[in-house]
Chains A and B, each alone.
Chain A
Amino acid sequence: MKKRYRDFNIALKSHVGRQMFTSVPLLFFFLSFIFLVQSVFFVFYELNDKGLFPLEASLTGFVLFSSVAFMLRRKSHSNHYTLLNLILLLIFYIIQLYLIVFLQIRYLWSLLLLVQILFSYYLLNYRFFFSFSLLNILIYSYYLVIHLSNKFPLDSLLAMVFSLFLSFLIHRDRRKSLITLADSYEIQKEINNRFRQLEENISQVFLLVSAQMDQVFYVSSAFEKLMKISRDEFIAEPAVWRDFIYQGDRLRVDLEIDSAIQDHKARDFDFRLEGREGMSWLRFQIFPVRTAPERDVNRFAIIVDDITESKMAELKLAEARSLDGEMAARIQKNLLFSDFDVPLKGVDGAAESIPSLDVGGDYYDIYNFSPHIVDIIIADVMGKGRIAALLGAASKSAFMKARLDLTVAQQTIPPIDRIVAETCRSISGELMKMGKFITLQYARLDMDKETFEFVDKGHTSILHYSARQKCFWSLKGWNMPMGFNPDEKEIISIVPVEKGDVFFLYSDGIIEAENEEGEQFGERRLVYLLKNSVHLTSSQIINKIKNIIFHYSSADSYSDDITCIALKTLEAGEQKALRSIILEGRRESLQNLRSFAADYLDHEFSGILPDLRDALIIALNEAVANVIEHNYEKDPLLEGREIFLEAERKGNYCCFRLYWDGHEFDWSVVRAPDLSELKGGGYGVSLMKEIMDSLSYSSNIDGVQQLILIKEIFSLE
């Protein structure tokens, strides 16, 4: 739109440039020159009995045409000047006829004729051009008739032919340019009309101001409606409008305007105006203007728009949204996250979840089965925001239902693998259809049995601080995230609990928090931090972690949800006598292991079923054989190192802990091979799983590996 207008302007200029007289003074000069020539001719050739009359007539023409020229110079663009011009021309024709026919003046009239033709073509509006040409032809024909009948001298006829020729030349020039000065006024008028139409009908205010914005060149009429100040008042004192800017926006508006003045760049900003009729929102769009392409920015065009209505709607929407988000966060926090509201005997627990958005995909759930048994879920739904939160809520309710169903059906506290399996069966299918998955730890702290059980569905590990060993174990389980396989067999890992132990469950938001260099917080840092915090209470530990993560990530908000739960056991049964054995890392030690185990089981669990005892020996043998095979036999560096076995009775349970310093346990054959395939090996791990209630494997940051094997020897009934 703007471009087209500019193009039009250029076209207009080029037409005007092609005219014979580009300025009125030049025209005036030309007229004076003609008059001088006339006077000379008159004095030398025509001073006769006709007196000064022809000169007077010529002078009248000069004065009249000059006045028209002056009027045109005032840039008035009214059409009646061309009309006046036409009348003047007609008068001149009459004067000419009079001079020629009655006074017989030869040179003078031919020159006057010349002037007349030039003027007529120059000043006439295009609209009258053709009619005037017709008039010209008629008059020349009349001259010719007079010449033939009155036998005029030949020089008059020549002058006439010459002027006709000149007329023809100008005519051609006119045809090329078409636009006379008057025409350009016509166009100007049309442009002005269009501009006026725009100006009067567009609700936006537009202004043209100086480069320092202290002077107003133009302001459109809509200004008065918007600001309720008259335009004259504003142009006289441009700063007057600033008083109406809302107090709180003044500084910002000043800054925006200053930077526009300094940078000569377009700016766009909104602010509030405290007018006489209340508050309104305005949008300022400032555009730098160059009055000529080669010049610097020397003006600004400003468009002011009243955006009160849209702004109000926008604000209302934002308000509604944030209210919505706040509400969602509140619901998630208060209704979906249960807390340690029921105190657990001998346990100090705390939990915290900070979503990265208003709601997050992380959640935790705490459920007390009894004053001694608490179930804890910590879960991370893939993704963020409300969809993830909704999925979290759905999975949480699925867990509730599974827990309830199983409790009712079995009339006892259901084992955690059953709860997880039931939940997984009910929601995994849907998760798979949506392409979503949930990683979680389902843990149970049982202070009766003094055990910590968990099913790990592909979640981050659980950190277990052993007060006795003074080190942190990173506990990992076996299962895949929920949403991978609905029929997966859930595997429980059991860890014995002692007094002063701390269990720290967390979501990956903690270890994946990044600092400015993009370095992740990592598990090592977390372990180090926890190691120095184990003397604190659970909520103190969590606050400390939260603050450190916040400082580490050096961001206003966490990039991922952060959830953590800390459990600290304050009371636990006295440490039972432990029995332990150190085994050399050779196959020959297997015999020692078997006799140690047999002796221990017979002694500590007298009355144990022989089959069970033999099976336990097989499982232990498999575990140690696996460690020997994959460490000491494969890695010469580890030669000579030893395996440490610790046996302990915990109520009806028997607990073996195996420690070694080296490579991870080889779990490569977790799935039991089919016996009918008659494979020569690979039955070890599945045998261990078959025999033991739980195998839990962990390692600490010093590279020590731990395998805990647990089996219930005497069942409660």
Chain B
Amino acid sequence: MKVAEKNGIRLISLETDHLDALNSDEIKKNMISNSEGADKVVLNLGNISFIDSSGLGAILTVFRHIGSSNGQMVIAEPRESVRVLFKLVRLSHMIKVFDRESEAIASLQ
């Protein structure tokens, strides 16, 4: 997991290939600890080729965590295979999803 800070916006990029029942718990904890203290977070999913329902649950948990301290979180660069899931559950009604990281950053500024 790569974490960077840019103009007060925290960039978290996941570096695993998948976010599924196998690793979602661990990654969820990491994401929560890495988003501590930030009120603007961009979650980059560019490396992820597969997310299942537990991975989705992990993302929603992080989103809730940030939202509880009045922060904002957006998702950037999901692959097509991940977008399928997002479409199925209509995630865009809840979390903004951007094709490019720069768009995501711009939306938070």
Contact = CB atoms under 8 A, between A and B. Distances in A.
A590 B94 contact: no
Given A590-B21, A611-B80, A614-B81, A681 B63 contact: no
Contacts of A621: 20, 50, 52
B90 A618 contact: no
A675 B81 contact: no
A591 B21 CA distance: 10
A683 to B, nearest CB: 4
Interface stretch (A67-75, A147-155, A333-341, A684-692): A684-692
Contacts of A611: 80, 84, 87
Contact of B53 (A594, A610, A628, A683): A683
A257 interface: no
Nearest to B79: A614
Contacts of A614: 80-81, 84-85
A587 interface: yes
Contact of B20 (A590, A675, A687): A590
B88 A625 contact: no
B50 A680 contact: no
B61 A680 contact: yes
Nearest to A586: B22
Contact of A680 (B20, B58, B81): B58
B60 A679 contact: yes
A587 B22 CA distance: 5
Q: Which of A587, A675, A678, A681: most chain B Cβ within 10 A?
A: A678
A594 B93 contact: no
A622 interface: yes
Interface in B48-66: 50, 52-54, 56-58, 60-61, 63-64
Contact of B84 (A591, A615, A625): A615
Contacts of A629: 21
A617 interface: yes
Contact of B22 (A588, A622, A676): A588
Contact of B18 (A591, A675, A690): A591
B4 interface: no
Nearest to A594: B50
B89 interface: yes
A680 B58 CA distance: 6
Given A611-B80, A618-B84, A618-B85, A679 B57 contact: yes
Interface in A616-631: 617-618, 621-622, 625, 628-629
Nearest to B64: A678
A691 B52 contact: no
B91 interface: yes
B60 A678 contact: yes
Interface in B16-75: 18, 20-22, 28, 50, 52-54, 56-58, 60-61, 63-64, 67
Contacts of A588: 22
A159 B21 CA distance: 137
Contact of A678 (B50, B63, B90): B63
B60 A618 contact: no
Given A618-B85, A625-B21, A678 B61 contact: yes
Contacts of A591: 18, 22
Contact of B94 (A618, A675, A682, A691): A675
Nearest to A690: B88
Nearest to B25: A680
A591 B52 CA distance: 11
A261 B27 CA distance: 96
30 contacts: A587-B20, A587-B21, A587-B22, A588-B22, A590-B21, A591-B22, A594-B18, A611-B84, A614-B80, A614-B81, A615-B84, A618-B85, A621-B50, A622-B52, A622-B53, A625-B52, A625-B53, A675-B94, A678-B61, A678-B64, A679-B57, A680-B28, A680-B58, A682-B57, A683-B53, A683-B56, A684-B52, A684-B53, A687-B88, A690-B88
The 3 closest A-B pairs by CB, nearest first: A683-B53, A681-B57, A678-B64
Interface of B: 18, 20-22, 28, 50, 52-54, 56-58, 60-61, 63-64, 67, 80-81, 84-85, 87-91, 93-94
Given A614-B84, A680-B57, 11 more contacts: A587-B20, A611-B80, A611-B84, A614-B85, A617-B50, A625-B54, A678-B63, A679-B57, A680-B61, A683-B53, A684-B52
